[in-house]
């Protein structure tokens, strides 16, 4: 069976793509030759990334999307098809973190975390797969999980850990359900990645623990075998691999991008 993939001219949607890891993913897929929809609540930021991605020569689309809203999830895929004439790849990157002691998690905290990180990802996968089945496209979905979903890397974002474990479970479920249709579903699990979000998390940890952000960061780095934090381009490289030709025999997998913290 010749299942090779040429991603040039294919169409990808990346959620939460205005900053950080999402931005790096959108730019990498554009550099790979894909047409890319940059979906984010931050409309101005999405437009800026779309302009940067277009420098690689492909088409881009910037959309204001609230990933927790069903109409927005459907619209981002429909408008991608309208703009590019096709839909091939969904990268579920949008996510949030809330720092808290486990016993301080209330229902509002829980619901917000699950709605963004788990529920929205599940239903975005549903929307994408329906279109891929309809168009008989050998599509790919890449979900951004976290090493926190495998090991509860800290107990100070407890509901986040649960939400990312849910992302891993849904990745395996969708992968098993639709592999025979040629649809591949995988996950990437970042560790400590140098982003503005990571800086904000470290600052929140520091407040909760009465420490300095520098001490929190030093503690994180001490647990990384390679000895340094990753950058968003490293995560983007893993997504590119899973969305492209070289990853065509992988589905249901969760690749760690964490400097060696986890080996499973």
Dihedral of the alpha carbons of 165, 168, 170, 173, in degrees to the nearest 10: -130
229 in Cβ contact with 222 (< 8 Å): no
The phi-psi region of residue 16 (left if phi > 0; otherwise alpha if psi is between -120 and 50; otherwise beta) is: left
Q: Residues 48, 164, 249, 264: which is the catalytic one? A: 164
- CA pair distance 258, 235, nearest whole angstrom: 9
Tell me the two tokens of residue 178.
């639709």
HSE-CB for 105 with a 13 A CA cutoff: 21
State yes or no: is 160 an active-site residue: yes
Q: Which residue has the tokens 């490293």?
A: 234
Q: Give which of 194, 202, 187, 184 is closest to 244, Cα–Cα.
A: 184
State yes or no: is 264 an active-site residue: no
Q: Residues 119, 150, 160, 178: which is the catalytic one? A: 160
Q: Which residues are catalytic?
A: 160, 164
């Amino acid at each position: 069976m010749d299942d090779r993939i040429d991603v040039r001219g294919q169409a990808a949607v990346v959620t939460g793509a205005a900053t950080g890891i999402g931005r790096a993913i959108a730019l990498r897929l554009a550099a790979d030759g894909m047409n890319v929809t940059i979906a984010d609540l931050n409309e101005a930021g999405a437009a800026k990334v779309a302009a940067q991605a277009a420098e690689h020569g492909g088409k881009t689309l910037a959309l204001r999307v609230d990933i927790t809203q069903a109409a927005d999830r459907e619209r981002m895929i429909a408008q991608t098809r309208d703009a590019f004439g096709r839909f091939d790849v969904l990268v579920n990157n949008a996510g949030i973190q809330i720092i808290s002691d486990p016993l301080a998690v209330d229902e509002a905290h829980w619901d917000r975390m699950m709605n963004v990180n788990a529920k929205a990802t599940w239903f975005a996968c549903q929307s994408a797969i329906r279109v891929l089945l309809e168009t008989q496209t050998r599509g790919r979905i890449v979900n951004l999980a976290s090493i926190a979903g495998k090991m509860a890397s800290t107990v100070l974002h407890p509901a986040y850990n649960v939400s990312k474990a849910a992302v891993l479970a849904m990745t395996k479920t969708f992968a098993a359900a639709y592999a025979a249709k040629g649809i591949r579903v995988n996950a990437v699990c970042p560790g400590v990645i140098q982003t503005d979000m990571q800086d904000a998390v470290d600052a929140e940890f520091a407040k909760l623990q009465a420490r300095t952000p520098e001490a929190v960061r030093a503690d994180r780095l001490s647990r990384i075998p390679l000895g340094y934090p990753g950058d968003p381009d490293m995560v983007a490289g893993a997504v590119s691999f899973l969305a492209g030709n070289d990853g065509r025999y992988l589905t249901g997998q969760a690749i760690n991008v964490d400097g060696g913290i986890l080996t499973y």
